[in-house]
Structure formats: C-alpha cells, structure tokens
Structure 1
C-alpha cells in the first residue's frame, strides 16, 4: 500500500516464518488424527469434546468434526444430565459458534450447528409445564434473532444471515408478527436500496401476508410500486430494485399493471436514456403485453419497439450482444 514502508525480510526471518507454518500444520495434523481416532472408537468423553473445540477453532469448515461434536453431546455429555444442564451446554455452544461466526460469517457448518443447538434445547423440568417450555425456547430463539440482527447490521447483504433469520422466524415457539418483519425490511431497504436480500425477504413476507388476508393486496401492491419508483429514481442502475420490481409485476400481470409500469419506466428512461435496466425492463414488460394480450394491443408496433430497444442494449451491453440478438429473433 502507498505510504507504508515495507520491511525487508532476511533469510532468517523467512526461515522462521516457514518453520512457524510447518509447526501449525503439524499441530493441526496431530489434532485431526487424535480426533478421528477417538471418533472411530466412539469416545464420548469431555476430553474428546474439548479436542473438537480446538480443531474447529482452527478449521470451522471441518464438518466431520462438527458431526462428531454433536455425537459426543448426545451420547456422552447429555447422558444422565438434568434438562437445565443440557440447556446450559447448548447455550455455551451458541456462544462458542458466535465467536467463530465473527471470523467466518459465511461458513455453512457454523450456522448449521447453531440450528441444531436451538432445536436440541430440552422441554425443561416437567414436560406438562408448557410455560417452562415456552420460556426456555422463546428466550433462546429471541436471543438468536437479536444476534442475527446484529450480524445484519454489520453486513446487511450476508445472505447466510438472512437465510438464518428466516429459519429463526419460522421456528420461534411464539411467532413474531409479519408486520414487524415488514417494518424491518423497510428499515434495511431505506438504509440501502441495493440490499437484494432485504428485497427478497420483503417479497416472502408480503406474499405470506397477502395469502393470509392480513394485508389488503391491491392497496399494498400499489404502495410497493411507489416505493420502487423512489428506488429507481435514486439509482436506476441498481439490479436488486429491478429484480424486485419484476417479482412484484409477476404477482399480478394484468394489462393495466403492465401498461402502468411501462409508462412509469418510460418517464425514467427519458431522464436516463442509457440505463440498461430501464431498457431491459421495457423489453420484458412489452414482451409480456404481446404474449399475454396480443389481441388487445398493437402487437406489431410493440414488436418494433422491442427490436429497437434490443438494438440499444447491444450497444450499451456488447458482452451480451448474442443474447439480445436471440431475443430479437424470437419476435419473428
């Protein structure tokens, strides 16, 4: 980097660095051999459990060791332990994996282990006591929701965290209001229109609210179109906005909706004549008009307009020229 003085390594320094790396590899190899040997002999001891902790701190993608860790817990540590002790061990593992996620936020096996821990939390003393069951479960799952929200604050586009959030919301003993989730996505999108994962989560939430009848679909959809118009004018080249727009139009491909959105995009295109996504969307929606309402529109005129737009796209996006040519040929 500019402005930073580089230190020239001596031969001795380089050799010391190599030796350090060799020592790390040798230590990891020894740990791995020891763990796999214990796994083969079905050793469910605390010593084996601690060994998996050390290994996973070095390599959190070692899924065989994650599986072995769970076997130790189920067959060894949990055996003859009261429910509260089991719960505490699982909560400790959630703390352990949180440290791992800070360094490796996109390692699937860490997220997978957290899911297992949550699902393994016992009912608590007295199965008949539903209040105890709810309190233990709800506390753990609410804490997880808080954790994943903090992770999304740090990296709003971490799709692993968004996927885990959907898992948490769907599995909470006491369901969270979908309207609360809609508000959450509004906050994330308001902070950054380019958050594809937030748009995706919003589509899932809206679809559920519409299907359940909890939200008036027609009015809600028009509000979404208004939100999208603001986003489009803010950044007409943001792909995530256009992908969500395409989803929204796809939920109600009536002729009036298609014509309404074509008109809105045309206005933006007049201000942003080189916007690739504006032009691609015009092609897509005009093609839908021709395909679905051929007898109610001037199909020949629309096809001519689509060909003209495809020529523009070939100039703006030459790397996909062949694709645009193929689309034009499909109009013949």
Structure 2
C-alpha cells in the first residue's frame, strides 16, 4: 500500500512461512484424499460427516463434498435418527452454512445446501392438525426470509441472495403479498438506484400478477411508470433504469402509451442534452412506433428524428458508432421500402 513502509523479511522468516504454507497444502490434500476415498467406499458414518465439515470449511466450493455430505445424511444418519434428531442435524447445518455465507456470500453451493436443508426438515409437532408447514418446517422457512434479508442488507446486489429470496417466497407457508414485495424492492432501489437485482425482482413480481388478484394492473402500471420517471430524473445515466423501462414497455403495442413515454423522455433530454440513454431510448421507442403503428403516423418524420439522434450518438458514444450506423441504415431501408 502507498505510504506504508515495507519491512524486509529475513531469510529465516520467509522459509518458515513457506513451510507453514506447504504444511497447510499437504493437510488439505490428505484430507481431500481421505474424504473422497470414504465417498468411494460409501462410508455414511458420523466420522465421515465430520470430515466433510472440515473440508468444506477449507473449500466451500467443493460441490462433490456437499453432495457426499447429503448422501451421508440420507443413507447413514437420518435412517437411524428420530424426527427430532433429524431436525437438530438440519438446524446445525443451517447454522454452519450461515457462518460460511458470511465469509463466502456468493458461493452457489452453500445456498444450494440451505435449500436442501429446508426441503428435508421434518414437519414437526402439530403438523397433523395444521398441515405440513408447522412446527420445525415453518420455523425454518420463516427464519430463512429473515436470513436472506440480512444478507441483502449486507450486499443489496447479491444475485445469489435474490434468487434464494424468490425460492423462499415461493415456498414459505405464510405467503407475502405482491404489494409487500414491491414495497421491499422499492426500498432497495431508493437506497441504490443501480440495483439491477431489485429491478429484476420487481419484474418477476409484476409478471406473476393477474387480473382478479385484488390489484388494479392498470393503476399498478401507471405507478410503475411514475417510479421510473423519478428514477430517470434522479440519475439519467443509470443503465438499470432504462433497461427496466424497456422491459415494462414490452413490444410497444399501445400507441398512446408509447407516445406518452417518448414525450416524457424528450422532456428529460432537454434538461440533459448529452444523455446517451435518453437518446437511445427515444430511438428505441420510435422504432417500436414505426414497427407497430406505421399506418397512422408520419413515418418520414420519425425516421428523420431517429437518424438525427443516431448521428449525435455517434459523436457522444464513438465506441458504438458502427451499431448506430447499422440502425440508421436499417431505418433508411425501411423508409425506402414503404415508398
């Protein structure tokens, strides 16, 4: 680091460090060989389980060992255990992997093992009277939503955590309303407008909604456009906002909606004349007008507007100059075909 004086290590210190590292590597390789040999021999003992814990602590991305660990539970531990004992094993694994997640929040295999734990938790006391999601199962699933929210507090853009959140929301016994989830993602977006994962989660929630679900889809869509306009004005250079806007617009079948959004973006462009995303979005949506509503609009004017913006984009964003030229050529070809 700058400003920090480097201390020259003695030859003895360097050699001692090398020997320590060599010892750790040898220990890891010996442990790996032991565990893989036990796996090959179908050793389903508690000793084998303990060794997988040690190895996964050293290398949490060793998916073969995660698979072996689950096989030990299913073939050796669970058949000899009561439902309460099985739940205790599951609870211990959830606690252990929670500690691992804090150190390695983006290791897929840790999240995957937590799913397995949830799906293999016994129903628990009271399930016969109140359904399978009671007792231990309900407690574990409820806790997972709290866990994943803590993980997203630590890193709001961890897509592994967002994927896991969708899994938990789909399986949790007491379903959360879509409005509740939209409010949650709105808070994440307010904290960081560039949170692609939060915008993506909103798209998942909106896609799941249907008429008759107690929510006015028309009103919800209007509110979504209002949210986007606020986000555009907050940071007109943020890509995530514009990508979500394109998704919400869809194929552009509603002419009135298209024209309304084009007008709104043009107003923003007047305030932010060098906004690449404003220009790109206007071109994109005007091309949708040309594609879907050419019979009732002034196509020549729209093509001219788009080509003017594309020329400005060539200057503003020279790295993508060829792309803008290709779009302009496509527009010219379409105009000539209509004539």
Query: Do both share a fold (TM > 0.5)?
Result: yes
Shift of 1:4: 2.2
Shift of 1:167: 0.4
Shift of 1:105: 0.7
Q: Is the contact between residue 127 and residue 135 of structure 2 (CA under 8 Å) also seen in structure 1?
A: no
Deviates more, 1:217-226 or 1:13-22: 13-22
What SS class does the counterpart of residue 79 from structure 1 fall into?
Answer: helix
Q: Deviations over 1:58-115 (max 9, x none)?
A: 1011011000000001111112211111011111101111111111111111111010
Deviates more, 1:183-192 or 1:250-259: 250-259
What SS class does the counterpart of residue 134 from structure 2 fall into?
Answer: helix
Deviates more, 1:4-13 or 1:190-199: 4-13
User: Which residue of structure 2 lines up, in the alignment, with residue 242 of structure 1?
Assistant: 242
1:270 aligns with 2:270: yes
CA distance in 1, matches of 2:16, 2:318: 51
User: Which residue of structure 2 lines up, in the alignment, with residue 284 of structure 1?
Assistant: 284
Over aligned residue pairs, what C-alpha RMSD do you find? 1.5
1:200 aligns with 2:238: no
Deviates more, 1:263-272 or 1:134-143: 134-143
Q: Is the contact between residue 189 and residue 195 of structure 2 (CA under 8 Å) also seen in structure 1?
A: yes
Q: Is the contact between residue 156 and residue 195 of structure 2 (CA under 8 Å) also seen in structure 1?
A: yes
Q: Is the contact between residue 123 and residue 132 of structure 2 (CA under 8 Å) also seen in structure 1?
A: yes
Q: Deviations over 1:217-250 (max 9, x none)?
A: 1111111111111110110011111111111111
Deviates more, 1:229-238 or 1:15-24: 15-24
Paired residues for 1:109-148 under 5 Å = 109-124=109-124, 128-130=128-130, 133-148=133-148
Deviates more, 1:226-235 or 1:8-17: 8-17
CA distance in 2, matches of 1:191, 1:63: 35
Shift of 1:253: 3.4
What SS class does the counterpart of residue 78 from structure 1 fall into?
Answer: helix
CA distance in 2, matches of 1:181, 1:175: 11
Q: Is the contact between residue 83 and residue 125 of structure 1 (CA under 8 Å) also seen in structure 2?
A: no
Q: Is the contact between residue 210 and residue 216 of structure 1 (CA under 8 Å) also seen in structure 2?
A: no
User: Which residue of structure 2 lines up, in the alignment, with residue 187 of structure 1?
Assistant: 187
Paired residues for 1:35-114 under 5 Å = 35-114=35-114
User: Which residue of structure 2 lines up, in the alignment, with residue 24 of structure 1?
Assistant: 24
Q: Is the contact between residue 45 and residue 76 of structure 1 (CA under 8 Å) also seen in structure 2?
A: yes
Q: Deviations over 1:110-148 (max 9, x none)?
A: 111010000001123586343574232221111000000
User: Which residue of structure 1 lines up, in the alignment, with residue 319 of structure 2?
Assistant: 319
Shift of 1:291: 0.5
Flag the 1:85–1:289 CA change in 2: closer, same or farther, 3 A: same
Structure 2: 5+ residue stretches without partners:
334-339
Paired residues for 1:213-228 under 5 Å = 213-228=213-228
CA distance in 2, matches of 1:256, 1:40: 66
Deviates more, 1:264-273 or 1:249-258: 249-258
Using the size of structure 2 for normalisation, the TM-score is 0.94
Shift of 1:53: 0.3
Deviates more, 1:168-177 or 1:55-64: 168-177
CA distance in 1, matches of 2:166, 2:126: 30
Q: Is the contact between residue 269 and residue 278 of structure 1 (CA under 8 Å) also seen in structure 2?
A: yes
Shift of 1:206: 2.0
Q: Is the contact between residue 90 and residue 121 of structure 2 (CA under 8 Å) also seen in structure 1?
A: yes
CA distance in 1, matches of 2:197, 2:84: 37
Shift of 1:14: 2.0
1:174 aligns with 2:174: yes
Q: How many residues align?
A: 332
CA distance in 1, matches of 2:318, 2:326: 13
